[in-house]
Amino acid sequence: MEKERKQSKNRLLPAFLLLYALCLAAAVLFVLDARHIRFHFSGGQELELPVGTLYTEPGVRAVSEGRLFGELGRDLPVTAEGWVDCSTPGDYAVEYTATRAGRSWHARRTVHVRDLTAPVITLQHREGYVTTWFAGYEEEGYSALDNIDGDLTALVERTAWDDHVDYTVTDAAGNRSTVTRKIPFSVGKPIITLTEGTETEIPAALRYTDPGFTAADELGNDMSYAVQVSGEVDPEHCGEYERVYRIDSGRGYGVTVTRHVRVVPAPLPAAAEPQEKTIYLSFDDGPGPHTAALLDVLAEYGVQASFFVTCRYPEYFDMVGRAFREGHSVCVHSASHDYYGIYASEEAYYADFLACEELVREQTGSYTTLFRFPGGSSNTVSSFNEGVMSRLTESMNTMGYQYFDWNVDSDDAGRTRTTEGVLQNVIAGCEGKDCCLVLQHDVKDYSVAAVRQIIEWGLENGYVFRPLDMTSPPAHHPVAN
């Protein structure tokens, strides 16, 4: 019996040792296999999702995996926890858990909700609106809306080009939109046409009158009102000048035409000696209270004279018009007859002259080129401005004006205060001369009273009476200043 037990024990020992060895080997293999749970993410472990898109779980598989034997068995149950707010940009996490043999494994998927939508720019259009070259484009309006940031109109950058406008806006997420508006222009640039052309030669004068211009677009619409003129012409001084005529468009472009003006000396006809004995009666400083009576006497004898007028007595201005209509020469003397004012400078003299010339035009319908310097060209009252008379006599002749002095002085503005004295002074001055230019003043009643006798003496002594014109002898004095 004992022997049988020993034999049985001897038979179990190897089996035990084998089992032990197998268990030990299995334990070693288990350690070496390092079995664990592996998660397989459908769609990836990092997801980017446009904001506003519904999040749908892509799914996750959990399997048992070891280094030695790989994946074994079927997929393990997986639970998911976490929330993705698809309406708000941000980073969200979804946690996954799988359990095996009482042990839990975890994994995470990150979902990036992003604003991937660019703002929308909407261009507004005004019904019936037409762009033109002149006006340029007038913005019709626009708006910009973003799905997250809302109204971005105030952030729109507007860039205008020749024929289009670009509108650009960027939202807070960096999404950028650009829209282009094409601008069709209905007409081309206008054309400026200069009357008398781009090259003009004019005689020197006290005033410059632009020959004029026209401007129109290609449809014939008048655009003269839009022309801006720059550049001055000094008509008193010979030289080269430029006048620029320009139309600016609303786009910052311009159409320009230039007129070149050359100012040259005005032609001055040569004086012609009269063919018969001639008396030129001339009267300064009017019209005044005695001018009407003087005109009556002249009309009675059919005699024409010359009136060098001033602007000092407005109530008698109508006498200037009457004198002109009755065939007399109307000439400029001075608006103010203020020596210290008019001879202060050439500009002061010109201003005074032009004021008086306007009176002549208003009463006669035209300007005159005949004048007499206050005090005559030989005056010394202007000596406070050295050389002014020399400059004025030259410049006025250059501008085509003829000035007249006298060679017979009635002295009615000097020491003579009687009609008889005036008569005798005139007779004495005329005797022995074939051409007599007589100086009187129609503001002196005693001088006007002598005119009848002067005319009768002249007629009796073979003289004719004529008004002055541009070819009459000017009786110039030596210029003393």
Return the structure tokens found at 140. Answer: 């019709």
Helices and strands per DSSP (H, E), number in the chain = 9, 27
Q: What is the pLDDT of residue 96?
A: 94
Is residue 282 located within the same domain as residue 418?
yes
Is residue 297 located within the same domain as residue 325?
yes
Q: Give the list of residues 6+ apart from residue 17 with CB closer than 8 angstroms, or none.
A: none
Instruction: Tell me, yes or no, whether 319 lies in a domain.
Output: yes
Q: What is the pLDDT of residue 132?
A: 83
Is residue 243 located within the same domain as residue 384?
no
Q: Which domain holds residue 250?
A: 191-264
Is residue 286 located within the same domain as residue 366?
yes
Q: What's the number of domains the chain is made of? A: 4
Q: What is the pLDDT of residue 423?
A: 98
For the stretch 207-252, pLDDT in tens is: 899 999 999 988 888 999 999 999 999 999 999 999 999 999 877 7
- Does this model's pTM top 0.75? My answer is no
Return the structure tokens found at 415. Answer: 């020491």
Nearest by Cα to 438 from 448, 447, 429: 429
End-to-end Cα spacing for the chain: 177
Which of 264, 294, 323 represents a domain boundary (last residue)? 264
Which of 264, 298, 327 represents a domain boundary (last residue)? 264
Is residue 310 located within the same domain as residue 251?
no
Q: Give the list of residues 6+ apart from residue 195 with CB closer than 8 angstroms, or none.
A: 211, 212, 213, 214
Low-confidence ranges of the chain (pLDDT < 50): 29-30
Give the domain CATH number at 217.
2.60.40.10
| Local structure of 5: helix, strand or coil | helix
Instruction: Tell me, yes or no, whether 425 lies in a domain.
Output: yes
Instruction: Tell me, yes or no, whether 143 lies in a domain.
Output: yes
Q: What is the pLDDT of residue 434?
A: 96
Is residue 308 located within the same domain as residue 427?
yes
Q: What is the rounded distance in angstroms from the CA atom of residue 481 to the CA atom of residue 394?
A: 12
Instruction: Tell me, yes or no, whether 474 lies in a domain.
Output: no
Q: What is the pLDDT of residue 2?
A: 63
Q: What is the pLDDT of residue 19?
A: 65
Nearest by Cα to 308 from 340, 290, 334, 343: 334
Instruction: Tell me, yes or no, whether 269 lies in a domain.
Output: no
Is residue 325 located within the same domain as residue 311?
yes
Q: What is the DSSP letter of 416?
A: -
Return the structure tokens found at 319. Answer: 């006498």
For the stretch 291-337, pLDDT in tens is: 999 999 999 999 999 999 999 999 999 999 999 999 999 999 999 99
Q: Give the list of residues 6+ apart from residue 186 with CB closer than 8 angstroms, or none.
A: 130, 131, 132
Q: What is the pLDDT of residue 5?
A: 63
Beta-bridge partner residues of 254: 248
Is residue 284 located within the same domain as residue 305?
yes
Instruction: Tell me, yes or no, whether 26 lies in a domain.
Output: no
Is residue 336 located within the same domain as residue 454?
yes
Q: What is the pLDDT of residue 341?
A: 97
Instruction: Tell me, yes or no, whether 140 lies in a domain.
Output: yes
Give the domain CATH number at 406.
3.20.20.370
Is residue 282 located within the same domain as residue 235?
no
Instruction: Tell me, yes or no, whether 198 lies in a domain.
Output: yes
What residue has token string 């009357």? Answer: 195
Give the DSSP H or E segment for 351: helix 346-364
Q: What is the rounded distance in angstroms from the CA atom of residue 26 to the CA atom of residue 24?
A: 5
Is residue 40 located within the same domain as residue 82?
yes
